[in-house]
Structure 1
Amino acid sequence: MAEEVAAERRGRRPGNRHGSRGVPLPVIRTALASDLDAIAALHTRARATYYRGRVPEEAYAGETEAARAREGWERAVARPAAQGQVLCAERDGRVTGVAAFLTADGVTTLTQLHVDPDQWRRGTGAALHAACLAAWRRAGIERVRLEVYEHNLRAQAFYASHGWRPDPAGTPAGSHRTLWLEVGPASGE
């Protein structure tokens, strides 16, 4: 218990240290202002995997977009905890994934979940998702939404495997699909 309290104070989430493939899980912690450059660079690398060839490179990797993304992450990291949170996955001292959620007007939205492409299939996304889920449960949040790019089939499969379902109204959000997750209690509750 003391380890869990100390880990929570440091912004780290205790738990299983190895994933299903025996690969050590990343440390999940609250993002800091000092992480912004790493987060913005990771954001750009991850987005390139699903936007490349579908939208102009300037729209996801140009200087203007990189600056805009960094400013957005800066606002998210500075946001009061009651409005949302940004979590980092860290492995060997390097940010390997990031997730952010926002609660506004009574609706909680998973606004971002990115894993560095060189870290795919190592449990990083699942660890970030589990940390978000734990935060939502602690806050009493029962339902969460997200929008996923229609051509990002990898992300859609990931979300489906974690219980996210298409918007019952079937309303697309431009080039994105809306998904919902019923949070529910933790297993064993």
Structure 2
Amino acid sequence: MISERMTGSRLIRSVLPAEAETVAALHARARATYYPDGLPDDGTDWVAAWRAAVERPGSHVLCVVERGRIVGLASFRTPEGAPADTVKLFQFHVDPDHWRGGIGTALHAACVEQWRADGRRSAVLDVHVDNRRAQAFYAGRGWEPDPENPPAEGDHHLYLRYEVSGTGE
């Protein structure tokens, strides 16, 4: 597992349970950008959810730290019922104040590095249909529509797949 990795002036490392509130706040700022009517309140306690993700066995939560501040994060693990060589990218966010600065690219590369080290062959994710920025980001890194998971009627997510063993990042 990547414990720490320097990329220029950025540190990529695992998130600590005590950082769940900071991570939840970044998550909310990033998600709010693609909900035209504001971030929906579904009652989820995101601080508790992030703490659980960090502490869950088999789960990885990476963050990018720049000038002492968490500016990007990614959460992934093998989803229940999936083959052991598949990983799901559950969350991937960059603080909107830091977009277009290479943080997402560095974080994605760290994820792929970890997936390869773990022997993963493919990665999957779902992205909100209104999040065009993320869709473009993923497409630029080789993610493609998942043929095993076409969008269902009324679903607000697109399902993408990435071949980890490929020649991408």
On whether the aligned pair clears a TM of 0.5, the verdict is: yes
User: 2:146 pairs with 157, 164, 167, which one?
Assistant: 167
Distance 2:92 2:157 in 1: 15
SS state at 1:112 partner: strand
Counterpart amino acid of 1:38?
T
**Which structure dedicates a bigger proportion of its chain to strand?**
2
Shift of residue 59 of structure 1? 2.4
Decide whether the 8 Å contact of 1:137 with 1:185 is kept in 2.
Answer: no
1:86 counterpart (56, 61, 65): 61
1:44 and 1:57 mapped to 2: Cα distance?
Answer: 8
The offset of 1:84, in angstroms, is 2.4
Q: What code does the residue aligned with 2:46 have? A: A
CA RMSD, Structure 1 to Structure 2 (Å): 1.9
1:165 and 1:180 in contact (8 A); partners too: yes
CA distance in 2, matches of 1:178, 1:29: 27
Cα distance in 2, alignment partners of residues 172 and 166 from structure 1: 9
Contact 2:65 2:72 in 1 (8 A): yes
> In the alignment, which residue of structure 2 is the partner of 1:141?
120
| Partners of 1:100 and 1:171 in 2: CA distance | 23
1:29 — aligned with what? Answer: 13
Q: Distance in 2 between matches of 1:31 and 1:168?
A: 32
2:31 touches 2:39 (CA, 8 Å); kept in 1? Answer: no
Deviations along 1:96-138, whole A, 9 cap, x unmatched? 0110001133231000000000000011111111111000000
Matched with 1:44 is 28
1-side partners of 2:114 and 2:70: how far apart? 20
Q: Which residue of 2 aligns with 1:3?
A: none
Unaligned runs of 5+ in 1: 1-7, 18-23
Larger radius of gyration: 1
What SS is found at the alignment partner of 2:112?
Answer: helix
1:186 shift after superposition: 6.4
Query: Structure 2 residue aligned with 1:13, among 5, 12, 15?
Result: 5
**C-alpha spacing 1:33/1:169, structure 2 compared with 1 (3 Å):** closer
Q: Which amino acid aligns with 2:137?
A: F
The 1-side partners of 2:125 and 2:39 are apart by 24
What letter matches 1:69 in structure 2? W
Relative to its length, the structure with more helix (as a share) is: 1
**Unaligned ranges ≥5, structure 2:** none
Aligned match of 1:158: 137
Query: How many aligned positions are there?
Result: 161
